[in-house]
């Protein structure tokens, strides 16, 4: 080996062992590339909740990463109760299509409590092939060590047919 070559090889190994961040991280993870990327859809107007729920969804977006065969639902939730609420995690989450197809939930984030009177983003990530993304979905998030749930109906993902009403863009 030429002097300094070992140090360069060691540095290259160290650098290559780290995952890139930002947009490069999306390429590295296979979420974008070859002209395809993460698709997003504002589903706030499409979803419904049962009347009287104390965990109210204020805003909702769905995401689809076709390259990774994954989808996500991001909710801005307000806790209108007088008790904190904590998501149970992937094991307490369901994402089920009206046709009965149940997606495998991989992650529910974050795991910290949603305090009374506060708002927080909650994100659910699931595996989904193209064939599994038919119809609308019901999302149910269970409470860790408790009986309360967040139940959202009408979840649709990017690339699916438009729901019965079409949402107008915010700024034409």
pLDDT digits (tens, 9 = 90+) for 1-40: 455 555 555 555 455 667 788 888 888 888 888 888 899 9
pLDDT of 51 higher than 70: yes
CB 136 within 8 A of CB 163: yes
Coil, helix or strand at residue 49:
coil
pLDDT digits (tens, 9 = 90+) for 74-126: 999 999 999 999 999 999 999 999 989 999 999 999 999 999 999 999 999 99
pTM of the model: 0.80
Smallest Cα–Cα separation from 156: which of 144, 138, 140, 143? 138
CATH architecture of the region 36-155: Sandwich (2.60)
The domain ranges of the chain are: 1-30, 36-155
Q: Six-digit token pair at 120?
A: 């927080």
What is the dihedral sign for C-alpha 85, 91, 95, 98? negative
CB 155 within 8 A of CB 62: yes
**CA 20 – CA 124 distance, rounded (Å):** 23
């Amino acid at each position: 080996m030429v002097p300094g070559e070992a140090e360069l090889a060691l540095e290259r190994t160290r650098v290559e062992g780290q995952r890139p961040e930002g947009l490069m991280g999306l390429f590295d993870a296979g979420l974008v590339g070859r002209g395809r990327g993460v698709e997003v859809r504002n589903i706030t107007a499409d979803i419904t909740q049962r009347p009287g729920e104390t965990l109210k969804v204020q805003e909702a977006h769905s995401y689809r990463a076709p390259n990774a065969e994954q989808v996500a639902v991001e909710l801005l939730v307000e806790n209108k109760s007088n008790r904190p609420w904590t998501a149970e995690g992937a094991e307490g989450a369901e994402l089920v299509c009206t046709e009965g197809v149940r997606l495998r939930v991989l992650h529910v984030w974050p795991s910290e409590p949603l305090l009374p009177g506060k708002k927080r983003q909650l994100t659910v990530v699931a595996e989904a092939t193209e064939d599994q993304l038919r119809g609308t979905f019901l999302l149910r998030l269970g409470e860790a060590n408790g009986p309360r749930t967040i139940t959202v109906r009408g979840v649709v993902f990017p690339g699916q047919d438009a729901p019965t009403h079409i949402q107008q863009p915010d700024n034409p």
